[in-house]
Amino acid sequence: MAAPRTGTARAGTVAVIGAGFYGATTAQRLAEYDIFDTVVLTDIVEGKPEGLALDINQSRPIEGFETKVVGQTTSRDGEGYEAIVGAAVVVITAGLPRKPGMSRMDLLETNAKIVRQVSENVARHAPDAVLIVVSNPLDEMTALAQLATGFPRQRVMGQAGMLDTARFSHFVAEQLGVPIADVQTLTLGSHGDTMVPVPSACTVGGKPLTELLDQAQVDELVTRTRNGGAEVVALLKTGSAFYAPSAAAARMARAVSEDSGAVLPVCAWVDGEYGIDGVYLGVTAQIGRDGVRAVVERDLTADELTALREAAEAVRAKQADVRDL
Ligand code: APR
């Protein structure tokens, strides 16, 4: 059995709303970091978060972590939300996943109701928290969570870019037969059709990707990355991806909690950067205790910049619609 870390302070509470596949694996990863006092996991299905929390806690002697997981059933009108009081970070995973053949936008109306109601309850009980939204359609749900909480925009962000980037890196490593650690990739834009993989920012062992693969091969990997979520959904048939998504969300929560200043691809409020006004969009941003410290602009080729601006316009129209949902 692994020995728990000794002599290192564990601090703070992080809450995960929604104890489905995504939420439960996120809670597990956060607990296994062994840096938090408490991970709170909630769901509206009676007993589900309590049962999962008990199960994760029983893995503590084997995995060797001290962080405690607290499961709490909540009602739609807010009963049970006292459990998240004091949480510095809240990850919202509540919402339906896709079924084969569905686009993320097909979830818009259903998940908007859920995310609005969850956000209102979070705002009441953890008014100072940084929010990380993962429910789909991601860019729209992030915008909606900000509206529904009334939190400063920098304190609300979405998880998508880290996942899309991880998928891109995996495909590149697989194609070239190189260690994943040698691969750096980047995707910006939306978590959907207007995702913008950025080959000019991709390197393998320090060499530009474009020197190692021809244009057709890069295009193929870009397309597979853009459809990365749908590929998993089609194989699973029930539900969508959660291992890579939860890895990304947990890393974001950790960067907030540790006030690390890490520059990560996230869905953040962009206002002026890249010549884009007022919209939640996938960009690289420096993450700290208060959420997004700053959007970090990258050098893009003219085509990549055009694609990013097109993505911004596509999500802007949809984000305006969420006000009424
Ligand atoms: N409050 C709390 N939990 C809720 C609420 C709510 N109002 N409504 C639904 N839930 C819970 C469900 O009870 C379920 O346990 O959200 C959970 C969703 O879990 P799954 O169906 O397993 O879906 P998951 O794979 O976890 O995906 C969650 O992340 O990637 C996105 O598209 C995906 O929007 C989906 C979300």
Superfamily classification of domain 13-158: NAD(P)-binding Rossmann-like Domain (3.40.50.720)
What local confidence, expressed as pLDDT, does residue 76 receive? 93
Say if residue 322's pLDDT is above 90.
Answer: no
| pLDDT tens digits, one per residue of 32-62 | 999 999 999 999 999 999 999 999 999 999 9
Helix, strand, coil percent values for the chain (each to nearest 5): 50, 20, 30
Q: Residue 75: what residue type?
A: S
Whole-number percent of the chain with pLDDT over 90: 92
Of all protein residues, the one whose alpha carbon is nearest to atom 27 of ligand 1 is 97
Around Cβ 66, how many Cβ atoms within 10 Å?
Answer: 15
Angle at 162 between CA 279 and CA 264, to 5 degrees: 75
User: Rounded CA gap, 34 and 66, in Å?
Assistant: 6
Ligand 1 proximal residues by C-beta, below 6 Å: 17-23, 43-45, 74, 76, 93-98, 107, 111, 114, 117-118, 134-136, 239-240, 242, 245
Q: Are 319 and 139 contacting, i.e. CB atoms less than 8 angstroms apart?
A: yes
Structure tokens given for 282: 């996938």
Q: What is the 3-state secondary structure (H, E, C) of 141-162?
A: HHHHHHHHHCCCHHHEEECCHH
Rounded mean pLDDT, 68-87: 97
In whole angstroms, how far apart are CA 74 and each of 37, 107, 184, 192? 21, 22, 40, 31
pLDDT at 323: 83
Asked if 137 contacts 191 with a C-beta cutoff of 8 angstroms, the reply is yes
- Which pLDDT value is given to residue 9? 79
- At 181, the amino acid letter reads A
Which residues of the chain form CATH 3.40.50.720? 13-158
The chain-wide mean pLDDT, for the chain, equals 95
Structure confidence at residue 84 (pLDDT)? 98
Residue intervals in the chain for CATH 3.90.110.10: 161-324
pLDDT at position 284 is 98
In this predicted structure, which of 3-7, 10-14, 190-194, 267-271 has the lowest mean pLDDT? 3-7
Q: What are the beta bridge partners of residue 279? A: 270
pLDDT of 122-147, one tens digit each?
Answer: 999 999 999 999 999 999 999 999 99
Q: What is the mean pLDDT of residues 258-286?
A: 97
Q: How far is the CA of 288 from the centre of ligand 1 (A)?
A: 26
> Measuring CA to CA, which residue among 197, 143, 141 is closest to residue 172?
197
Give residue-wise pLDDT tens across range 212-266. 999 999 999 999 999 999 999 999 999 999 999 999 999 999 999 999 999 999 9
pTM above 0.95, yes or no: yes
Q: What are phi and psi of 268, to 5 degrees?
A: -130, 160
CATH of domain 161-324: 3.90.110.10
Query: Tens digits of per-residue pLDDT, 95-122?
Result: 999 999 999 989 999 999 999 999 999 9
C-alpha 152: how far from chain center: 18
Q: State percent of the chain over pLDDT 70.
A: 98
> Binning pLDDT at 50, 70 and 90, where does residue 321 land?
confident
pLDDT at position 4, please? 58
Question: Which residues are designated catalytic?
Answer: 191
Q: Whose CA is nearest to atom 14 of ligand 1?
A: 20
Query: Three-class SS of residue 238?
Result: coil
* 141 contacts 147 by C-beta, under 8 angstroms: no
